[in-house]
Chain A
Amino acid sequence: MTNALPGTSPEKLVFPDQSPDTTYQDFLRNNQFCIQHCNECQNFLFYPRLCCPHCSSVDLEWREASGKGTVYAVSIVRQRPEKGGDHNVVLVDLDEGPRLMSRVDGIPNEDVKIGMKVKASISVNTDEDGDTRMVVFREA
């Protein structure tokens, strides 16, 4: 039986030697925001995965994201000042296609609007557990 499942034939089923979550973090530590590209169907994907959710291929390649995106949805989480105060939560559609949760820094929460063009940067949070790196956005 040949070509029963185009793109996922057993000889091509090669897995990476570490979790894609780890690879994603490794890139962030190197100050790179990278997402996976499917060499089979040419879609980009996020969050990092072992397979393409569009075509099941495992032929995925890491590429540095443009960082350009558009705010798709926004909410302001209301918290008392002693709990950290208000902050925004957004969904951003990257120009490459995938959508991710993030926040928009550098402007008041109320000024974050759906449709706003934004640009990614890497934020570093340092506490007793060490550094946490995360992708955040600013108005483009």
Chain B
Amino acid sequence: MTNGTEGIRGAAAFVGAATDGIGEAPGFSGQELAIRASLKAMQDAGIRASDIDGVFGALSAESMCGVAVSEYLGIQPKYSNNNKIGGSTFLSLTHTAAMAIKNGLIETALIYYGSNQRSAFGRLAVSATHQSDYEGLYQPRFPMTSYALAASRHMHEYGTTREQLAEVAVAARQWAQLNPDAFMRDPLTIEDVMASRVISDPFSVRDCCLVTDGAGALIMTSAERAKDFRQKPVYLLGAAGEHWHKQISAMPDLTVTAASKSGPRAFEMAGLKPSDVDVIELYDAFTINTILFLEDLGFCPKGEGGRFVSDGHIAPSGGLPVNTNGGGLSCVHPGMYGIFTLIEGVQQLQGECAGRQIEDAKVALCHGSGGVLSSQVTNILGTEEVL
């Protein structure tokens, strides 16, 4: 490695992935849901806890989750990490895990997440963050109003319409209808989205992510070892992140996220470009996210996102498969959705997605966002053919 752009390309691969408790899982704690997902991912990979020597993840309700989850499963990791960049955490942890694997620090990593926010609280768990008084005094609905402000600016600068935002929610719902695990699968039209209760203009309730329970886990190992696993390895080809602010009032330009930096660097590491991507999984906490990230990651020019998603272009019948599980808008959103972008990306490249499977998918882009459009982390995954 000489200039750093090669990074961790192809050094590590996902060999197991699973979700658990998507929707409602009453009677279990967030940690227990994470344990269940971890056991399913371990079974998927065909390994036991004793095969894992690196532990990476987050729980909404336990800041010392690294030691808690390891103790529970009986893992004695040589290295563990829990960072604090919101819903983008997991896509950063895969980067860290791949570096640890490439450096020989560990051989096999568990990446986990679990939350029971719906059963426990019935509202969005804003994972241990708080607003400063400089914003809180004005009583925004947190975090919805922060994203609504970004949407207002995008509409002002680029003529993005209320209908175009609704297109994002409708596309997500149509994908969810192809996913038996998705939480909301009722038919949804643009008119339905626009007629639903307004929360914080321009957003109605259908522009906002779900409040569900749910957990997910992934197993990552070195590229050499990955060939011995029963699952088709999915390689991490590119990873990059960046963040510019915590609170929305400190975001330099509300129409441009740090994905405009993380995306190009992840593509450079992967040696790929947007047109090489077969399936796109974006953290869609709100409808504006999908539009902003499609622009910032290079799938359409800045300002064109609204028109780009129109006429069902990112829906199952459209030209570009985006959020094929139904996303945070219609599949699952337990508070930190990022890990689900990775699980769907891995399973698409393994050909395991049944009715929503993208035929012959070889490259997936997974993108996590944390805070209020704050932290942006991009992962690019590929099958052996693109290694």
Residues of A within 8 A of B150 (CB): 73
B residues in contact with A47, CB < 8 Å: 132, 134
- Chain A residue numbers with a CB within 8 Å of B202 are 75
Chain B residues with CB under 8 A of A115: 156
| Residues 195-211 (chain B) with a chain A CB within 8 angstroms | 197-203
Interface residues contributed by chain A, number (CB under 8 Å): 23
| Chain A min CB distance to B371 (Å) | 15
Contact in complex: B199, A78 (CB < 8 Å): yes
Given A89-B145, A101-B248, A114-B153; A75-B200 close (CB under 8 Å) = yes
Q: Tell me if B135 and A72 are in contact (CB < 8 A).
A: no
What separation, in Å, do the CA atoms of A102 and B150 have in the docked complex? 15
Are B254 and A78 in contact, CB atoms less than 8 angstroms apart? no
Cβ of A132 within 8 Å of any chain B Cβ, yes or no, is yes
**For the complex, what is the distance from the CA of A99 to the CA of B152, rounded to whole Å?**
16
User: A101 vs B148: C-alpha distance in the bound complex, in angstroms?
Assistant: 13
* A29 sits at the interface (CB 8 A): no
A21 contacts which chain B residues (CB < 8 A)? Answer: 133
With A75-B145, A78-B199, A101-B249 as contacts: A87 and B254 at CB distance below 8 Å: no
| Interface check B138, CB cutoff 8 A | yes
Q: What distance in Å separates the Cβ of A78 from its nearest Cβ neighbour in chain B?
A: 5
Q: In this assembly, does A37 line the interface, its C-beta being within 8 Å of a C-beta of chain B?
A: no
Whole-angstrom CA separation of A106 from B181 in the bound complex: 49
The residues in B between 148 and 191 inclusive whose CB is less than 8 angstroms from any CB of A are: 148-150, 152-153, 156
Q: Assess the A78–B200 pair: CB atoms within 8 A.
A: yes
Find out whether the CB atom of B145 lies under 8 angstroms from the CB atom of A77. yes
Select one of A78, A84, A91, A100 contacting B201, CB under 8 A.
A78
Q: How many A-B residue pairs have CB under 8 A?
A: 70
Count of B interface residues, CB-CB < 8 Å? 28
With a cutoff of 8 Å between Cβ atoms, the chain B residues found around residue A72 in the complex are 153, 254
In the complex, what residues of A have CB within 8 A of residue B148's CB?
75
Answer whether A100 and B200 are a contact pair too, CB < 8 Å, given A75-B145, A87-B139, A89-B139: no
Assuming the contacts A76-B200, A77-B200, A101-B134, asked whether A91 and B249 have C-beta atoms less than 8 A apart, the reply is yes
Question: A60 vs B62: C-alpha distance in the bound complex, in angstroms?
Answer: 39
Which of chain A's residues have a CB closer than 8 A to the CB of B133?
Answer: 21
Assembly CA distance A100 to B201 (angstroms): 19
Write the nearest CB–CB distance from A127 to chain B, whole angstroms.
13
The docked-state distance in angstroms from the alpha carbon of A94 to that of B10 is: 48
- Contact A99:B198 (CB < 8 A) given known A47-B132, A89-B139, A89-B149: no
CB of B123, distance to nearest CB on chain A (Å): 15
Complex contact A101–B200 (CB within 8 A): no
Docked pose: A6 CA to B38 CA in angstroms: 50
> Is A120's CB within 8 Å of the partner chain B?
no
Q: Chain A contacts of B149 at CB under 8 A?
A: 73-75, 89, 91
User: Given the complex of chains A and B, what is the CA–CA distance between A130 and B140 in angstroms?
Assistant: 22
Contact of B152 among A78, A103, A114 (CB under 8 A): A114
- Chain A residues whose CB sits within 8 angstroms of the CB of B197 once the complex forms: 78
Give the Cβ gap from B374 to chain A, nearest Cβ, in Å: 15
Chain A 65-99 interface 0/1 with B at a Cβ cutoff of 8 Å (1 = within):
00000001111111000001001010100000001
A residues with a Cβ closer than 8 A to B are 21, 46-47, 72-78, 84, 87, 89, 91, 99-103, 114-115, 132, 134
Nearest 10 A-B pairs (CB), nearest first? A75-B148, A73-B149, A76-B201, A114-B156, A73-B153, A101-B249, A47-B134, A101-B135, A89-B140, A78-B198
What are 24 A-to-B residue pairs whose CB atoms are below 8 Å?
A: A72-B153, A72-B254, A73-B150, A73-B152, A75-B140, A75-B145, A75-B149, A75-B200, A76-B200, A77-B139, A77-B140, A77-B141, A78-B200, A78-B201, A89-B200, A91-B149, A91-B248, A101-B134, A101-B138, A101-B249, A103-B138, A114-B156, A134-B137, A134-B138
Chain B residues with a Cβ under 8 A of chain A: 132-135, 137-141, 145, 148-150, 152-153, 156, 197-203, 247-250, 254
